[in-house]
Amino acid sequence: MPLKIALYVAALLLGATGVAHSYLGERYLLMRLFRRNDLPKLFGSTDFTVRTLRFAWHVTTVAWLGFAAILVALAHPPVSPSTLGLIAGGTFMVHCVIALGGSRGRHLSWVAFLAVAIIAIYATRS
């Protein structure tokens, strides 16, 4: 199998795995988990717990899609640091938005994700 096709197949598999992970996890794991009455009450209710578990679950899919984008970029050599920085920065910007929105700003991971996104893009611009 030629290199370019292999990288595209790997990216497609990773993307499909991510989509399946989010959909199936939401449908068959998270929804059942959230019906339980014994979830920890963080910040006074289970709402923060539910939101944190949900965004943490789905941010994994975003990471896998970011890796898929790197594989696609590698299928088109030469790959510049700028391209990889943009992919990494964009991936972490999406992480930031999900964490910020999913937790309504209460889970401070969004700050770190935003910093990583900005630094990755800035440091790799040529």
Phi, psi of 99 (to 5 degrees): -65, -40
In the block, residue with structure tokens 């910007």: 93
Region 35-41: mean pLDDT is: 93
Q: What are the residues whose beta carbons fall under 8 Å from the beta carbon of 62, sequence distance 6 or more?
A: 18, 91, 94, 95, 98
Tens digit of pLDDT for each residue in 7-18?
999 999 999 999
Q: How far apart are the first and last CA of the chain?
A: 33
pLDDT at 9: 98
Q: Can you list the alpha helix ranges (DSSP code H) found in 75-108?
A: 81-103
